[in-house]
Structure 1
């Protein structure tokens, strides 16, 4: 056969040549289904039951990262040239933007009365003095610390003394203030079975130029993630319920909660606390772990006051990043 002669309409395609696949609607239905599931989880995370292993709390802790489903599904959708999958990807995009889109625009200037800093300084911090100086660089009037140790406490007291003449320490938590503190007392948020030496919450009244405000500092128990137990948040959830009760019983209306709550504001385990307070504005100020932040478990929340801006400070010697906030009373 003459090699230059073109094959007829019914002739088979030349070996090694594949017909070009066109975009179609019938392919990629599984990808479209996965996109719909991702969108459903973003919009209705509480529909996932908190069965043994706490899968619901685990999902809510890392909920923003569910947006990665979009690029992960986009690649096979393009490879398969599936119009169905591409259209379905609009669902998780819309769900993610509806929940987290408010954190995307750069924060504008907003009036505020106080600057506060919250930091789990780590009981293994090799440089407490340097950590204290780093926190003061943000210019806060209130500084809350967790995981204070007897060995590190003198360094924090020495560094903070000139700028924060008023402070209170209870167990492993502390509050330093540029304003006078009164009515200081410990809060009992220890879960059942925890020893008397587990002291991780306090309450004080800060007498500010803008009025008196109750300030609570708390460090809830850590969660444990394992193959057998799943998302082990039982002690944290019990402690959160006790903290929520203390907030409900607080007579002073204006209140600021600062602490390492070992929970994001979306985690249903924090509901006893979050339901009684105003959450901060949407922000990707993720605080843990410091090397590659995945979640913000260090919180600044208020009652009869507003957090107008929330951000993270540069890393210190801790495994958490410090969190700064502007508050309007």
Structure 2
């Protein structure tokens, strides 16, 4: 086997997409009832966040969904800031999308070892407000690429609107990654607009991520355009009800 050129190794990127459930721990369906207090109280979340930081430290870029920007349930801690500090990420950004008074908040976030050239955030359309996409641009010229982090709605009609918006927003990027919790499979009918309009391609294999204790549904994806996918796998995410998705990429 021939050795991989050093410059090719340096071009590799390790990315993680994780719905962290605001640091809560859910290990069975009954926990949604017996541990419902965790959605309003901070108890036990610090241990889960420390485990998430250890996982994230193995990656170059991490996209988070359901990251609390600072409310009662997170102990008024911005969880993206906490994870970036614990895992030694020099760059981070948070896009708060939904807040229930001071009790709970949720949003998308980016942790990065690479400095973005630009950060943008957009609200997504839908029947109920509170969904968004965080977009980061990296590199310049031929090395430029775009990363988008999102969390789509549960309803099909809202997802159709959101995916149509994303398809138009990301249509001009030749090298692109879209990651997040899509709340649908990568081959769901509403996903076709993405593949038709952007450089994104569906994953080569189906990786199920929900529920984390016995995955049966494939809801979390890292969609790629303009990169070779060297590794694609589900990864336990410190007690979240979703498994994370880890990938290794190399520019084509």
Shorter-chain TM-score: what band? 0.7 to 0.9
Q: Does 1:200 align with 2:132?
A: yes
CA distance in 1: counterparts of 2:60 and 2:232, whole angstroms: 15
CA change 1:167–1:124 in 2 (3 A) is closer
Which residue does the alignment assign to 2:14? Answer: 115
Q: Does 1:150 align with 2:69?
A: yes
Using the TM superposition, give the Cα deviation of residue 136 of structure 1 relative to its aligned residue in structure 2, in angstroms. Answer: 2.0
Using the TM superposition, give the Cα deviation of residue 124 of structure 1 relative to its aligned residue in structure 2, in angstroms. Answer: 6.0
Q: Which has the larger radius of gyration?
A: 1
Which residue does the alignment assign to 1:310? Answer: 232
Which consecutive residues of structure 2, in runs of 5 or more, have no partner in the other structure? 25-43, 97-106
Which structure is higher in strand share?
Answer: 2
CA distance in 1: counterparts of 2:91 and 2:139, whole angstroms: 11
CA distance in 2: counterparts of 1:206 and 1:260, whole angstroms: 22
Aligned residues: 204
SS at match of 1:286: coil
Q: Which has the higher contact order (CA 8 A, sep 6+)?
A: 2
CA distance in 2: counterparts of 1:163 and 1:212, whole angstroms: 24
Q: Does 1:268 align with 2:205?
A: no
CA distance in 1: counterparts of 2:174 and 2:205, whole angstroms: 24
Which consecutive residues of structure 1, in runs of 5 or more, have no partner in the other structure? 1-108, 224-232
Q: Does 1:236 align with 2:159?
A: yes
Which structure is higher in helix share?
Answer: 1
- Correspondence 1:67-146 to 2 at 5 A: 113-123=12-22, 125=24, 126-127=44-45, 128-137=48-57, 139-146=58-65
CA distance in 2: counterparts of 1:165 and 1:130, whole angstroms: 17
Which residue does the alignment assign to 2:88? Answer: 163
CA distance in 1: counterparts of 2:157 and 2:202, whole angstroms: 23
Q: Is the 8 A contact 1:306 1:328 kept in 2?
A: yes
TM-score (norm 2): 0.72
Q: Does 1:174 align with 2:109?
A: yes
Q: Is the 8 A contact 1:132 1:156 kept in 2?
A: no
Using the TM superposition, give the Cα deviation of residue 295 of structure 1 relative to its aligned residue in structure 2, in angstroms. Answer: 2.0
Residues 46-81 of structure 1: per-residue CA shift (max 9 Å, x gap): xxxxxxxxxxxxxxxxxxxxxxxxxxxxxxxxxxxx
TM-score (norm 1): 0.57
Q: Does 1:256 align with 2:181?
A: no
Q: Is the 8 A contact 1:298 1:323 kept in 2?
A: yes
RMSD: 2.5
Q: Is the 8 A contact 1:205 1:212 kept in 2?
A: yes
CA change 1:315–1:155 in 2 (3 A) is closer
